[in-house]
A = this chain, B = another copy of it.
Amino acid sequence: MASLVGNALIGQSGGPTCVINQSLVGIVEEALSKREIKNVWGAVHGIKGVLEERLIDLGRETKETLEAVAVTPAAALRSVRKKPTREECEKALAIFKAHDVRYFFYIGGNDSAETAHLLNELAVAQGYELRLFHVPKTIDNDLRVTDHCPGYGSAAKFVACATAGDDLDNRSLPGIKVNVVMGRNAGWLTAATVLARQRDEDGPHLVYVPERSFSLDAFVGDVDRVFKKLGRCVVSVSEGVHTADGKLLLESKEIDSHGNVQLSGSGALGDHLADVIKKRLGEKLRVRADTFGYLQRSFAGVWSEVDAAEAREVGRTAVRNAVSGDRPHGSVVMKRLASGKDYRVSFEVAALENVAKVTRPMEPHFLAGDNGVTDAFHEYARPLVGKLPTLGRLSDLPIRR
């Protein structure tokens, strides 16, 4: 395809991750190396920044600043949760034309892929040549086509470390502990709480994900069984668990413009489950609940080195494909070439419409019954979190009298 000369614009959208800025920096450094790209700009707060023409120059940032930004959590360009209307898409495209923006990279999840798809359809309809890429990120890991999503490995490492430490805390002071994990549609992140387990008796002992319907009776029965056996019980529950009729356990009234209910930023689900356990199993039991909350996606200084490197490469891949023009638009996906110790992936391009809107649940072979995960899930997820801390334990040797 003929080369296309113009300016490049980057936006970040949706809930940020710890490595979303790796993708940003990957795009910037690759774009700066291409003679087809005149300027590399950022839109502040994603599509909202495009519409308000809040554009900043990324090409003039120092290498040092960019590398510091790459290891900093949250969206350096700032983010937005907004699905543009048809009129807003037209306005955005007019702004692209006015600024000779010929390359647009939108870093985000499936909602952002939808925004990218809408803009692309309109550009095609208007005959405006635009190379447009969705660059995936999401701690939820719920994008289709790709093996896994940049952002997931780091969040998975966080929840694995949090759960392993919390399980040891619960071993110190035994009781029942409920931990609520992010993931409104899929259980990928909740399932990852198992990844630092070392022994059979280690928690989490029970894992509940939205892919299985949730019954309070079964839940209380499961907890009671584990508690009677081990004298303690650590539970991981996805914020998105719902009953057999599809209702979320706790429905909130706050809904964003993509139609998503607010689940995070509240301890209500965990507190509710702790209350139910106490009421049914005994008010004197030591029952605690924590909601891991925003720390899962924003904690400063903890990330998966594998995830960080992949997030960077996903950004670079988008630019390479956009500039070569072989695939003028699409979403970057990873294909797994090998697992285990030889783990590696290739970076490819999928059609936008195959990534947008619809989310990907955990496949059945990753789930064990209604409250656990399989070895296949361990094999899938373990390489993504990189190095985990070494945890030691006393041997509890008898004393010699």
Contact with B along A59-73 (1 / 0, CB 8 A): 011000111111111
Q: Pick from A44, A77, A99, A392 the residue with the most CB of B within 10 Å.
A: A392
Q: CA–CA, A81 to B58, complex, Å?
A: 55
Tell me whether B292 and A266 are in contact (CB under 8 A).
no
| Contact flag A172-B75 (CB < 8 Å), given A274-B266, A291-B293 | yes
Copies in the assembly, this chain: 2
Contact with B along A185-205 (1 / 0, CB 8 A): 000000000001000000000
Per a CB cutoff under 8 Å, which of B169, B267, B293 touches A266?
A: B267
Closest Cβ neighbor of A389 among chain B residues: B301
Tell me whether A169 and B297 are in contact (CB under 8 A).
yes
From residue A203, how far is it (CB to closest CB) to chain B in Å?
12
Tell me whether B172 and A394 are in contact (CB under 8 A).
no
Tell me whether B171 and A394 are in contact (CB under 8 A).
no
Tell me whether B391 and A72 are in contact (CB under 8 A).
yes
Contact with B along A356-400 (1 / 0, CB 8 A): 000000000000000000000000000000001111111111111
Closest Cβ neighbor of A25 among chain B residues: B392
From residue A182, how far is it (CB to closest CB) to chain B in Å?
11
> Is A299's beta carbon under 8 Å from chain B?
yes
Chain B residues contacting A338 (CB-CB under 8 Å) are none
From residue A274, how far is it (CB to closest CB) to chain B in Å?
7
> Is A119's beta carbon under 8 Å from chain B?
no
> Is A5's beta carbon under 8 Å from chain B?
no
Q: Which A8-64 residues sit within 8 Å CB-CB of chain B?
A: 12, 15-16, 18, 21, 39, 41-42, 44, 55-58, 60-61
Contact with B along A66-92 (1 / 0, CB 8 A): 111111111111111100000000000
Tell me whether A399 and B165 are in contact (CB under 8 A).
no
> Is A309's beta carbon under 8 Å from chain B?
no
Tell me whether A165 and B289 are in contact (CB under 8 A).
no
Chain B residues contacting A44 (CB-CB under 8 Å) are 396
> Is A268's beta carbon under 8 Å from chain B?
yes
Chain B residues contacting A81 (CB-CB under 8 Å) are 173
Chain B residues contacting A391 (CB-CB under 8 Å) are 68, 72, 300
With A165-B294, A165-B300 known, 9 other A-B pairs at CB within 8 A are: A16-B172, A68-B391, A69-B393, A74-B169, A78-B172, A166-B294, A265-B287, A267-B270, A291-B291
Across the A-B interface, the 9 shortest Cβ-Cβ residue pairs: A267-B267, A68-B392, A265-B288, A301-B389, A74-B168, A290-B293, A165-B298, A165-B300, A169-B298
